[in-house]
Amino acid sequence: MVSGNSLRWDIADRMTRMKNFGLITFLLLLVCSCVSHQPGDFASQSGDLGAFIVESAANCGGHPSTNTVPVVETDWRCRPDAHGTAIRLIGDRLSDVQSILKPAFGQPDASLGSKPLSPCSPRGRSDEWYSHKQLGISIYIWGDKEETEVIILRGKP
């Protein structure tokens, strides 16, 4: 026969193992997601970032109102895939990216689900996005003093 104390310890032991399993699973998922975004996954490029962003957006189904955007000569890393393109720049390049997006796509329209540039974290990171509803594709930009990223996602087929 099992005593009350023994049963309590057995249940507590099982609960501890379940919590540990959950924590280990979470950590493994976190590590795996970080590993898939290592700089080695991105190809280095340089040249006119403005032309590259407009071309990438058009390749994803976007329709820029103009191809005449400021020339921003710089280096970047990018990773295209079936869902779109991710572009990473070193340093705070949000104003450069905005100077490209505004003439090509206009201002983010909050009534269409887009979001103008605003701070999004206590570390000084800011973000902005253009919704699929506004552009037919989604464009998300974020950055801080260390890096800037542009993510262009394909429109729905």
For 23-41, write each residue's pLDDT tens digit.
455 544 544 444 444 555 8
Q: Give me the pLDDT at residue 9, please.
A: 56
**How far is CA 40 from its chain centroid?**
17
pTM over 0.85: no
* pLDDT score at 67: 82
Q: Alpha-carbon distance 87 to 56, whole Å?
A: 10
Q: Are 111 and 102 in contact (CB under 8 A)?
A: no
Which DSSP helix (H) or strand (E) runs through 25? helix 4-35
Residue with tokens 């049963």: 7
pLDDT, one tens digit per residue, over 90-139 is 999 999 999 999 999 999 999 999 999 888 777 788 999 999 999 999 99
Q: Which residues pair with 86 in a beta bridge?
A: 79, 151
Cα 114 from Cα 135, distance rounded (Å): 9
Mean pLDDT of the chain: 82
Give domain limits for the chain: 1-36, 40-153
Both structure tokens of 76: 């970047």
